[in-house]
Amino acid sequence: QSVLTQPPSVSAAPGQKVTISCSAGNSNIGTDFVSWYQHVPGSAPKLLIYDNNKRPSGIPDRFSGSKSGAAATLGITGLQTGDEADYYCATWNSRLSEGWVFGGGTKLTVL
Amino acid sequence: QLQLQESGPGLVKPSETLSLTCTVSGVPITSRNYYLGWIRQPPGKGLEWVGSIYYSGSAYYNPSLASRATVLEDTSENQVSLQLRSVTAADTAVYYCARQYLGYYSGSGSPLLYYMDVWGKGTTVTVSS
């Protein structure tokens, strides 16, 4: 089971905004760094956000990340049909010696 | 430019050992700033971390797979490998290799990895007789 909880799916129309939550529940990720990945089935996952809110070079500013306490959020504005994908949050859980933990993934549908 | 390429047999029989290789091109795997590791995605399910290794040979594993998994590095070939023993149908998945940024070491000596910035395209492994 995932230590990080994400909604199974979200949807919105082109041009709109969505947010995807990532909750650690009873685990403490307050001091851990959360990263977000976009995964189109059949291709390599892509790093979207690292260190909670930083974007790698080449990722448009339509994508944003934030974290507060035990919850992190990915925001996507100006939705495009090309944004349809699965989105995963992840963190390295050093305290429980579990290593990398992923959220269960959220399927984004652009209507 | 760094590239990762996974390779290995696409079909493995139950109870046998799954062996995969990740070939790294563009930079040596002896970088002090990164781990290399394996992540898998079973059909219809999410991403699952398998294990990660530093160039020094220090490795960490998903506790649920630690008894069956071994990740090794071959610095002369610039490769990282995964061996998963006693496989079952539950090990059927797309296996990805990914580079993982090392932030720092804690006071206890445990690494804190920050993110996975480069991924291979993945290789599909089916466990079936």
**Pairing of β B69-74 and β B59-61:** unpaired
**Strand-pair category, A85-93 with A99-102:** antiparallel
pLDDT of residue A70: 84
Summarised one tens digit per residue, pLDDT across range A88-109 is 999 998 766 678 999 999 999 9
Spatial separation of the C-alpha atoms in residues B49 and B41, rounded to whole Å: 9
Using the beta-carbon criterion (under 8 Å), do B46 and A37 form an inter-chain contact? no
Closest partner CB to A35 (pick from B49, B51, B115): B115
- Please judge whether B48 and A33 are an interchain contact, meaning their C-beta atoms are less than 8 angstroms apart: no
Q: If you compute the radius of gyration of chain B from its CA atoms, what whole number of angstroms results?
A: 14
Say whether residue A102 is in contact with chain B using an 8 A CB cutoff: yes
Residue B105 has pLDDT above 90, yes or no: no
Q: Please report residues of B whose CB lies closer than 8 A to that of A46.
A: 119
Select the residue from A67, A94, A102, A106 to test the B interface by mutation, using most B Cβ atoms within 10 A. Answer: A94
pLDDT in tens, A2-40: 679 999 999 999 999 999 999 987 665 556 799 999 999
Pick the residue from chain B with its C-alpha nearest to A87: B46
CA distance A45 to A105: 12
Query: Does pLDDT of B127 surpass 80?
Result: yes
From CA A78, how far away is CA A76, in angstroms rounded?
A: 7
Please answer yes or no on whether B62 and A56 come within 8 Å at the CB atom: no
Phi-psi region at B25: left, alpha or beta (left = phi > 0; alpha = psi -120 to 50): beta
Between residues B126 and A41, the one the model is more confident about = B126
Question: Please, which pLDDT band fits residue A74 given cuts at 50, 70 and 90?
Answer: very high
How is residue B90 annotated by DSSP? Answer: G
Identify the band that residue A51 occupies on the pLDDT scale cut at 50, 70 and 90: very high
CB of A56 within 8 Å of a chain B CB? The answer is yes
